[in-house]
Amino acid sequence: MENAEKFTTLIKNGQWYKGNTHTHSLISDGRCSYDEVIGFYKGRGYNFLAMTEHEIYTAHEGFDAGGFIVIPGMETAPVSQEEGYNISGMYHGLLLLAKKERAGLKYANMQKAGPLEWTGQRGFQASIDSLSSDGDNLVIMHCPRWNQMTPDDLLPYSGYCAIEIYNHVCQEMGMQGNAEAHWDLLIRSGRSVWGIASDDLHANNDPRFIGGGWIMAKATGLSIGEIAAAIERGSFYSTQGPLIYDCFIREDTIHLECSPVEKAYITFFGDFGDFGGSGGKRAAFFSGATCWGGKGGDFAIGAGGGSGDGGDGANGADDANSAACVYTLDKRLGKIMQGLKLDGTYAVRITLEDGRKNLAWANPIFVRK
Ligand SMILES: [Zn+2]
């Protein structure tokens, strides 16, 4: 059993760091100064904050202290010279996060680096390539739900490591902040694209707009390079509250260690062929299963480290004092895999929900045998 291959996106040895990857100040269209905004997050126990002003790269120094760092960044979106800004369907936004320490960055602090010129989809791909080409930047796709991008819009693009699956201000202001459907379609196509939750803060110190969604990165340390490396390889999860301590698949069994939750939604993606390679089949089937804490559902959550008998998973959900639960989604998963006639190549994505309807999204785990 121990020799069986373990599939996970999380690095083995690391620490957890809390961060927001999408933030505006008065430098672009936020309501508060750069240092005020940093103070809002620092005061709430965040460990890192990416500042992402529209079309202006910021890399101010002097804010890193006491278990907190600022990641330089920018938000950029193409503009049609002929038709003006933000035409419907044309706001294909990107977030850049610095991938290296400040020395050698592609842009200087306060450099106006956009907007890109909208020249159609091919041009947008060229923009992604250009922005990430020298290896200095991570590229994250802005929440495609708010942009009203269709999956067809999104599928041709590559070269970004993640998409915003939850953008809090877009959700609060217009119910357009959840892009899980876009994410699922990308995974279904065999893309190892990670899902990010962020505030996209524009407001002042308003609890309605801060802390709506964030990421927890498992990294080797707290530096720009180490956090960026964790994001790039998917060693993080997104959340509105529930915590994930470990999540992996071994021998068709999902092992999940997390804070008390009421539900685990599990989505299977299967029959990818060679995962996006030229000759492979695309997903022929995918399905969801829901686990309620030991009380039914498509298969049970076993508590206590893998008894595998379904157990009483409700222990965790019902006990507010419980710091963590170990949920082993038992061998029934193997039966489901057989039932789906999957050939051993599949992906699984897990969403958790606590008693207050807060969600957490684990990154997809791709199992290749
Ligand atoms: Zn923004």
What CATH number is attached to the domain comprising 114?
3.20.20.140
pLDDT classification of 347: cutoffs 50, 70, 90: confident
Least confident of 7-16, 75-84, 161-170, 178-187: 75-84
Assess contact for 313 and 301: CB atoms under 8 A: yes
203 with 268, same domain: the answer is: no
Place of tokens 């602090």: 109
Distance 94 CA to ligand 1 centre (A): 9
189 with 51, same domain: the answer is: yes
232 with 249, same domain: the answer is: no
Q: Which domain holds residue 281?
A: 245-367
Percent of the chain at pLDDT above 90? 49
Assess contact for 162 and 199: CB atoms under 8 A: no
| pLDDT per residue as tens digits for the range 43-55 | 999 999 999 999 9
40 with 87, same domain: the answer is: yes
pLDDT value for 271: 60
Among 4, 2, 9, 1, residue whose Cα is nearest residue 347: 9
pLDDT value for 14: 97
Asked, for residue 5, whether it belongs to a domain, the answer is: no
82 with 217, same domain: the answer is: yes
Among 191, 179, 140, residue whose Cα is nearest residue 364: 191
pLDDT value for 282: 44
Q: Quick check: helix, strand or coil at residue 131?
A: helix
Distance 21 CA to ligand 1 centre (A): 10
pLDDT value for 112: 94
pLDDT value for 327: 61
60 with 166, same domain: the answer is: yes
Query: Count of domains in the chain?
Result: 2
Percent of the chain at pLDDT above 70? 75
> Which tokens sit at 56?
């202006």
pLDDT classification of 10: cutoffs 50, 70, 90: very high
Q: List, in sequence order, every residue forming a beta bridge with 329; answer none if it has no partner.
A: 254, 301
Distance 338 CA to ligand 1 centre (A): 44
Pairing type for strands 6-7 and 244-250 reads antiparallel
Segment 224-242 shows an average pLDDT of 97
Distance 261 CA to ligand 1 centre (A): 30
Q: What is the full DSSP assignment across 311-332?
A: TTTHHHHH-TT---EEEEE-TH
Distance 85 CA to ligand 1 centre (A): 15
Distance 322 CA to ligand 1 centre (A): 36
Distance 67 CA to ligand 1 centre (A): 25
80 with 218, same domain: the answer is: yes
Distance 92 CA to ligand 1 centre (A): 12
Asked, for residue 4, whether it belongs to a domain, the answer is: no
Distance 22 CA to ligand 1 centre (A): 6
- Of 61-75, 132-146, 181-195, which has the strongest mean pLDDT? 61-75
Model confidence, pTM: 0.87
Q: Quick check: helix, strand or coil at residue 14?
A: coil
pLDDT beyond 50 at 277? no
Residue 67 region by backbone torsions, left for phi larger than 0, else alpha for psi between -120 and 50, else beta? left
Distance 24 CA to ligand 1 centre (A): 6
Asked, for residue 109, whether it belongs to a domain, the answer is: yes
pLDDT value for 279: 45
Assess contact for 279 and 38: CB atoms under 8 A: no
Least confident of 12-21, 79-88, 320-329: 320-329
Distance 71 CA to ligand 1 centre (A): 15
pLDDT value for 15: 98
226 with 251, same domain: the answer is: no
Distance 15 CA to ligand 1 centre (A): 28
pLDDT classification of 251: cutoffs 50, 70, 90: confident
| Phi, psi at 247, each rounded to 5° | -160, 115
Query: Of 217, 239, 261, which marks where a domain is finished?
Result: 239
In the chain, the amino acid numbered 222 is L
pLDDT classification of 346: cutoffs 50, 70, 90: confident
Assess contact for 185 and 163: CB atoms under 8 A: no
168 with 108, same domain: the answer is: yes
92 with 204, same domain: the answer is: yes
CA distance 38 to 32: 10
Query: Of 188, 206, 239, which marks where a domain is finished?
Result: 239
Among 305, 256, 367, 250, residue whose Cα is nearest residue 6: 250
CA distance 240 to 251: 30
Distance 28 CA to ligand 1 centre (A): 9
First and final CA of the chain: distance in angstroms? 16
Q: Is the peptide bond before 151 cis (omega within 30 degrees of 0)?
A: no
Residue 316 CB neighbours (<10 A): 24
Query: Of 239, 256, 285, which marks where a domain is finished?
Result: 239
Segment 299-317 shows an average pLDDT of 37
pLDDT classification of 135: cutoffs 50, 70, 90: low
pLDDT value for 320: 40
Q: Quick check: helix, strand or coil at residue 341?
A: coil
Place of tokens 């996209």: 200
| Phi, psi at 41, each rounded to 5° | -80, -40
